[in-house]
Structure 1
Amino acid sequence: MNKTGIRNLAPKIISILFALVLWVYVMSVINPRVSRDLVNVPVKLVNLEELKAQGLVLVGSEDFRVRVRLTGRRDEVFKISPEQIQIKADLRGYKLGVNNVPLEISAPNNIGIDVSPRFIRVELEEITKKQRDVKVLITGSPKKNYVVGNLDYKPTAIWIEGPESYVNSVENVVAKLDVTGETKNLLLSLPLKPVNSRGEEVPGVEVKTAYVDVSLSIDLLKSVPIKPDLQVTTGDGHVISNVEINPKEVILKGQEEILKGITEITTDIVQVENLTTDQVIETKLKLPQGVTLQEEVPITVSISLQKVEEETYKIPKDKIIFNNLNEKLKVDKNNIPESVDVKVVALRSVLDSIKESDISIEVDLKELTANEYTIEPVVQLPFTIEKDVKELQLNPETINIKLVEKK
């Protein structure tokens, strides 16, 4: 080596040393090694389908998350996004029960990576398939004067599938139907959910039939009076004084188009012969097809009797009224009895209400001339009394009347 080469070597060595020092400075001060923590990094579960083929299924949530620590140069560590880190748990080959599955980690080169925890704990159960009853739960209330009627739905039982412990905890498969404010019949499909004995939805259970077809009638309520259908005969000397139905009205339940034409409801025929004492008879109602009672109650008919009595009233002859007498004639009353008996047959309550002044005996003399006549008088009572009288008889039934000319 000549002297010139020796002289050039020293600067080269110094340059290399300076560059090395500068690189060390940059790497240690400007771009140092750092650590970065990522939390809630998801773990991807692989070969779940293979588990299912073996008749096994994962119990609980499939959402496993871990903490990841990245170590490396600052610029490389902070340019890594969570999506670039892949953490897997391969479930192939694991058996029934609790298993610790190691995590497989994939990250860019030149980066140190540490995961906590390094294992996930998974529980595997056998896949079970069972049948459970379907129930439709009705919530809310229809509009005022409307009620829920007949409920029909299909299917009434379905198959569910999932982890054995989950499937065993399912009490029913339910659908919810809200009827708030409804007035019309409902026909719809509702989603089904598996629930436990507390009514809580059981996750992780597959319902093989997702929907139930529901038919629900919404019925109208209508209050109508009851009309008794009586075929009653009474014994001698007795009449029906009062009939009471209890209750007087009932609330019917049925479809609106049926109830709108009903104004009253009749009982079955109440048939009694020769009734001589008060009776309380239980009967039933003649309900049209498609109509029911909102509440079943006993229907009774109370029949009250009174004995018929008679009373005789003596009406003096001067109380007899002669109508339409010719103005040229007068009545010779010498042949008229001093009094006329009026026999009234009625209930005692009616007889007690009659006064002698209520009884009127009238004789019609229209177009009669001077002569002697045998005439049947007419007995009159006020209508409010006469309508309740069973028999009205005059004794004697006829009277002899002599008409003479006035002088």
Structure 2
Amino acid sequence: MIDIFKRNLKIKTISTFFAFFMWIYVMAEVDPIILKDYDQIPIKINNVDILQENDMVLYPEPELNAKVILRGRRSLLKEIRKNDLEINTNLKSPKIGVNKLELDLDVPSNITYTIMPSNISLNVEESIYTKKEIAIKTTNTSNKDLKVDQINYSPKSTFVEGPKSLVENVDKLICKVDLKNKSKNFNSKAQIIPVDKNGKTVEGVNIKDQYTYVDIGFTKSKKIPLILNLKGEIGEGYKLLGYELNSKTVNITGKIEQIDAIKDIYTQEIDISDLTENKNINLNINIPQDIESDIKSVNVSFKVAKLVSKNLTISSKRIEYKDNIHNLDISKNNLPEDINVKVTYLEGNGRDVSEKDVQIFVNMQDEQVEPSKFRIKYNVLKEVESVHIDPEYVVIGE
């Protein structure tokens, strides 16, 4: 049996070496060892829940991917896709500050790998939870006549959670409410925004309540006429020439519905029946309940003049008969020889009014009170308040 193996030993040895080298050749040429690299392979941190259990958080959030280079036979590597790769690391005993973790990759044993970088540094911060008040900030107040009177909102505070360095940077929580085109009371849902002392939004913190519900109430301002509330008539022998208020309008402010219903406002009542001279009087303004005004009182200046009467006697012969279209005999009239004319004027005016300043006439085209009965009319060349003629009528033909 042993002789069989010893036969042609040289040839068999050569054949064995030849077969071995042929296998080496085939493996090198047909299925060579190659390198293959993959970018942006995700890193999975195992046991990350331990952070929450210990009131910790990763901040800033790390770049959880790395580059992987695989080395192995082509036949093996061609079966591996990028999605099949996942780098692992383990957060065993985290501490506040920088934690350095080694990276690992699960691949078949006949494949080697290189991870770049081979480890990552994770910064761990204390996670804190604190309560902050909410402030409402209104923007775009376009209607100058409207003013925010009251703001009711709920909730008025909420909790902020996150890395200590970020939470401590939150100065306050604000909600912006846009008032553009608003003309009446309204309610709105407003997002809660964490901001720092410079008013910039702080990113990376969690707000327990995302929104607050806001009710906005307005007051409205309007300028309206101020009216003098007069009572009685000025006494006989006097004339009210006029009056002037030192403010003809008043600016009022109140609830929109009330303001819209008010068209004017009166002063307190003043009786002018005893007014006999120029006078300045301060009067309160009757402001409706729950309404504010820019002024509470007003000064009124009255201008009063005394009336003076003067009796004149004018001959009836001076009466001019105009447009005698019926050809009546004007010589036949019932007038006395003299006609009494009482002229009333303002004191200081008209003192020099005389008979020659008064023209009396009859317009015979006017509609008659009775047949042949005409009203006696007048013209006065100077300024007077009134003229009374006695008799008032003339009858032609009697």
Greater mean alpha carbon deviation, residues 156-165 or residues 110-119: 110-119
How far the C-alpha of 1:186 sits from its partner, in A, is 3.7
| 1:73 alignment partner in structure 2 | 73
How far the C-alpha of 1:93 sits from its partner, in A, is 1.6
8 Å contact from structure 2 (residues 195, 201) kept in 1? yes
Counterpart of 1:111, as a letter, is I
* Residue 18, structure 1, aligned to residue 13, structure 2: no
Q: TM-score scaled to structure 2, two decimals?
A: 0.71
* Residue 341, structure 1, aligned to residue 338, structure 2: no
- 2:333 corresponds, among 328, 331, 341, to 331
8 Å contact from structure 1 (residues 51, 92) kept in 2? no
8 Å contact from structure 1 (residues 361, 379) kept in 2? yes
| 1:64 alignment partner in structure 2 | 64
Counterpart of 1:269, as a letter, is Q
Flag the 1:35–1:269 CA change in 2: closer, same or farther, 3 A.
Answer: farther
Q: Deviations over 1:256-304 (max 9, x none)?
A: x656654x13145275986955648586573575x77xxx755774533
Q: What is the root-mean-square deviation in Å for CA atoms of aligned residues?
A: 5.0
8 Å contact from structure 1 (residues 32, 74) kept in 2? yes
8 Å contact from structure 2 (residues 239, 307) kept in 1? no
The CA distance in 2 between the partners of 1:359 and 1:24, in whole Å, is: 152
| 2:225 alignment partner in structure 1 | 226
Structure 1 unaligned segments of length 5 or more: list them: 370-376
Q: Deviations over 1:49-70 (max 9, x none)?
A: 3222222222211542222222
Flag the 1:108–1:196 CA change in 2: closer, same or farther, 3 A.
Answer: farther
| 1:305 alignment partner in structure 2 | 302
Structure 2 unaligned segments of length 5 or more: list them: 323-327
The CA distance in 2 between the partners of 1:76 and 1:358, in whole Å, is: 136
| 1:55 alignment partner in structure 2 | 55
Q: Superposed, which structure 2 residues align to 1:133-282 within 5 Å?
A: 133-140=133-140, 150-181=150-181, 185-217=185-217, 225-231=224-230, 239=240, 241-244=242-245, 246=247, 248=249, 254-255=255-256, 261-262=261-262, 264-269=263-268, 279=280
Flag the 1:404–1:167 CA change in 2: closer, same or farther, 3 A.
Answer: closer
* Residue 106, structure 1, aligned to residue 110, structure 2: no
How far the C-alpha of 1:21 sits from its partner, in A, is 2.2
| 1:317 alignment partner in structure 2 | 315
8 Å contact from structure 2 (residues 278, 304) kept in 1? no
8 Å contact from structure 1 (residues 239, 305) kept in 2? yes
Counterpart of 2:70, as a letter, is L
The CA distance in 1 between the partners of 2:131 and 2:27, in whole Å, is: 67
Q: Deviations over 1:189-211 (max 9, x none)?
A: 33323222333332332212232
| 2:287 alignment partner in structure 1 | 286
Aligned residues: 379
Counterpart of 1:25, as a letter, is Y
Counterpart of 2:227, as a letter, is P
Counterpart of 1:105, as a letter, is L
Q: Deviations over 1:45-97 (max 9, x none)?
A: 23333222222222211542222222222332343233333323333322222
